[in-house]
Structure 1
Amino acid sequence: MDRGNSKHAPRVDEQMDQEVSGLVQGPGTGGSRVDESRVPEPAGEDQPEATTAPAGDLRSGSPQGMTSEDVEARSRLGRFITMTALPGDRATLLANARDNQAPADVLAALERLPEGTRYQTVSEVWAALGHKNETTRW
């Protein structure tokens, strides 16, 4: 004896089974778990496409007043000056950079620092080398 569903015809049972297959089997089978009301509609013919950067303003992550190259160069300098050297003067920073196997261009830059000045942060060292740090927002 077949115990099928007696409330619907077999054709209706198959249709109902397909309607819920996305919920039962997952999104890889053609169905979707996303509520249809939450799916964004495509842009109209006279409307611009949606973008994550309105008006073409892409954000690179660089702070105001610095380029991404400046950020990378300051970060590179900071890799060879550890926190144990700060606060420190030119001789302390050079010794620390040598201990950290800094390349020749970093050592040459640190040798240009004036004698007798103590630096509290890598940003202060960076500024003393003639570069710009980020500007603060008020």
Structure 2
Amino acid sequence: MERGSSKHSPRVDEQMSQEVSGLVQGPGTGGSRVDEFRQPEPAGEDQPEATTAPAGELRTGSPQGMSSTDVEQRSRLGRFITMTALPGDREALVANARDNDAPDDLVAALEGLPPGTRYQTVSEVWAALGHRNETTRW
């Protein structure tokens, strides 16, 4: 016994199945994502062409006081300093960064930190390296 939908006829079920097959199974299996109704409309005569990367900052919503480049660089630093190294001093941070295969430029920057100072967060390390963190809004 074949089980069908109780809401549609078998013909409507088949039609609906074919409409979404390109989305469910991908191209080349009968349906296609290149159906005319799926293609975006071109820009109008008085409108600029759409681009994949807008001009200016690559990341929107950067915190106040930091550029998107600062955010990316601080994030890069944070990828190589794990939570097990914090709180920690220069020696612990350098050892942790080396254990995590940090690039030489990051290890050299960490080696330049003053000895005897303990850092609680990556943001504190970032500031000690001479960079700016986000400013707090009051």
Task: Please say whether Structure 1 and Structure 2 have the same fold, judged by a TM-score greater than 0.5.
Answer: yes
Tell me the amino acid that sits aligned with residue 105 of structure 1: D
For residues 56-135 of structure 1, the aligned pairs below 5 Å read 60-135=60-135
Q: Deviations over 1:30-59 (max 9, x none)?
A: xxxxxxxxxxxxxxxxxxxxxxxxxxxx87
Query: Percent of aligned pairs with the same residue?
Result: 80
C-alpha distance in structure 1 between counterparts of 2:98 and 2:122, whole Å? 16
CA deviation after TM superposition for structure 1 residue 61, in Å: 1.9
In structure 2, the residue matched to 1:7 is: none
SS in 2 for 1:91: helix
Distance, in Å, in 2 between the alignment partners of 1:60 and 1:113 is 31
What is the alpha-carbon root mean square deviation over aligned residues?
3.2
Q: How many residues align?
A: 98
TM-score relative to the length of structure 2: 0.59
SS of 1:97 mapped into structure 2:
helix
Most deviating of 58-67 and 107-116 = 58-67
How far off its partner does 1:117 sit?
0.1
Structure 2, gaps ≥5 residues long: 1-15, 20-56
Cα distance in 2 between the residues matched to 1:120 and 1:83 = 10
